[in-house]
Chains A and B, each alone.
Chain A
Amino acid sequence: MVETGTDRVKRGLAEMLKGGVIMDVVDPDQAKIAEEAGAVAVMALERVPADIRKQGGVARMSDPTMIEGIQAAVTIPVMAKCRIGHFAEALVLQSLGIDYIDESEVLTPADDDNHVDKWAFTTPFVCGARNLGEALRRIGEGAAMIRTKGEAGTGNVVEAVRHMRTVTSEMRAIASMDADQLMAAARDLKAPYELVKEIAETGKLPVVNFAAGGIATPADAALMMGLGVDGVFVGSGIFKSSDPQGYARAIVEATTFWNEPEVVAKVSRGLGEAMPGLEMETLSEAEQLARRGW
Chain B
Amino acid sequence: MTRVGVLALQGDVREHIHILESLGVEGIPVKKPEELGEVDALVIPGGESTTIGKMAVRFGLLEPLRTAVGEGLPVYGTCAGMILLASAVTDGDQPLIGGLDVVVKRNAFGRQNESFEASLDVLGLAEPFQAVFIRAPWIEKVGSDVDVIAAVDDHPVMVRQDSILASSFHPELTQDGRIHQMLLEMV
- Taking beta carbons and an 8 Å cutoff, which residues of B are in contact with A? 8-15, 31, 46-48, 50-51, 54-55, 58-59, 79-80, 92, 106-107, 110-119, 132-135, 170, 173-174
Kindly state whether residue A5 has any CB partner on chain B within 8 Å.
Answer: yes
Asked if residues B118 and A3 are in contact (CB atoms below 8 Å), the reply is yes
Contact status of A9 and B117, CB under 8 A, knowing A18-B10, A18-B13, A124-B112: yes
Q: Which of A16, A19, A77 is in CB contact (< 8 Å) with B9? A: A19
Asked if residues B116 and A3 are in contact (CB atoms below 8 Å), the reply is yes
Contact status of A15 and B12, CB under 8 A, knowing A4-B114, A8-B117: yes
**Measured between alpha carbons, how far is A233 from B51 in the docked complex, in Å?**
15
Asked if residues A94 and B51 are in contact (CB atoms below 8 Å), the reply is no
**Measured between alpha carbons, how far is A6 from B58 in the docked complex, in Å?**
36
**Measured between alpha carbons, how far is A124 from B48 in the docked complex, in Å?**
17
**Measured between alpha carbons, how far is A3 from B48 in the docked complex, in Å?**
23
Smallest beta-carbon distance B5→chain A, Å = 16
Contact status of A4 and B11, CB under 8 A, knowing A12-B170, A19-B47, A39-B51: no
Smallest beta-carbon distance A91→chain B, Å = 12
A15 and chain B: residue at smallest CB distance = B12
Q: List 28 A-B contacts (CB under 8 A).
A: A2-B116, A4-B113, A4-B115, A9-B132, A9-B133, A13-B115, A13-B134, A15-B46, A15-B173, A16-B11, A16-B46, A16-B80, A17-B47, A18-B11, A18-B12, A18-B13, A20-B10, A20-B47, A20-B48, A38-B54, A38-B55, A40-B48, A76-B48, A77-B111, A99-B112, A100-B112, A256-B9, A256-B10
Asked if residues A4 and B58 are in contact (CB atoms below 8 Å), the reply is no
Smallest beta-carbon distance B175→chain A, Å = 11
* Chain B contacts for A124, CB-based, 8 A: 112
Q: Which of A17, A75, A123, A256 is in CB contact (< 8 Å) with B113? A: A123
Chain A 120-144 interface 0/1 with B at a Cβ cutoff of 8 Å (1 = within): 0011100000000000000000000
Asked if residues B51 and A20 are in contact (CB atoms below 8 Å), the reply is yes
* Chain B contacts for A75, CB-based, 8 A: 50, 92, 106-107
Smallest beta-carbon distance B9→chain A, Å = 6
* Chain B contacts for A16, CB-based, 8 A: 11-12, 46-48, 79-80, 134-135
**Measured between alpha carbons, how far is A6 from B50 in the docked complex, in Å?**
26
**Most A C-beta atoms less than 10 A away, residue of B9, B13, B118, B134:** B134
* Chain A contacts for B174, CB-based, 8 A: 8
* Chain A contacts for B79, CB-based, 8 A: 16
- Per DSSP, are chain A's interface residues mostly helix, strand or loop, or mixed? loop
Asked if residues B111 and A97 are in contact (CB atoms below 8 Å), the reply is yes
* Chain B contacts for A98, CB-based, 8 A: 112
**Most A C-beta atoms less than 10 A away, residue of B50, B79, B80:** B50
Smallest beta-carbon distance A39→chain B, Å = 7
Smallest beta-carbon distance B127→chain A, Å = 16
Extra A-B contacts (6), CB below 8 Å, given A16-B48, A257-B59: A5-B113, A15-B12, A16-B12, A17-B48, A20-B10, A252-B51
* Chain B contacts for A5, CB-based, 8 A: 113
Smallest beta-carbon distance B48→chain A, Å = 4
* Chain B contacts for A1, CB-based, 8 A: 118-119
Kindly state whether residue A253 has any CB partner on chain B within 8 Å.
Answer: yes
A76 and chain B: residue at smallest CB distance = B48
**Measured between alpha carbons, how far is A122 from B112 in the docked complex, in Å?**
9
A6 and chain B: residue at smallest CB distance = B117
Kindly state whether residue A89 has any CB partner on chain B within 8 Å.
Answer: no
Kindly state whether residue A234 has any CB partner on chain B within 8 Å.
Answer: no
Asked if residues B13 and A19 are in contact (CB atoms below 8 Å), the reply is yes
Contact status of A257 and B31, CB under 8 A, knowing A15-B15, A16-B80: yes
* Chain B contacts for A41, CB-based, 8 A: 48
Kindly state whether residue A35 has any CB partner on chain B within 8 Å.
Answer: yes
* Chain B contacts for A77, CB-based, 8 A: 48, 111-112, 135
Contact status of A13 and B173, CB under 8 A, knowing A41-B48, A123-B113: no
* 4 interchain residue pairs of minimum CB distance: A99-B112, A40-B48, A19-B10, A15-B12
* Chain A contacts for B15, CB-based, 8 A: 15
B110 and chain A: residue at smallest CB distance = A97
* Chain B contacts for A9, CB-based, 8 A: 115-117, 132-134
* Chain A contacts for B47, CB-based, 8 A: 16-20, 40
Asked if residues B132 and A4 are in contact (CB atoms below 8 Å), the reply is no
Smallest beta-carbon distance A198→chain B, Å = 16
A21 and chain B: residue at smallest CB distance = B51
A208 and chain B: residue at smallest CB distance = B12
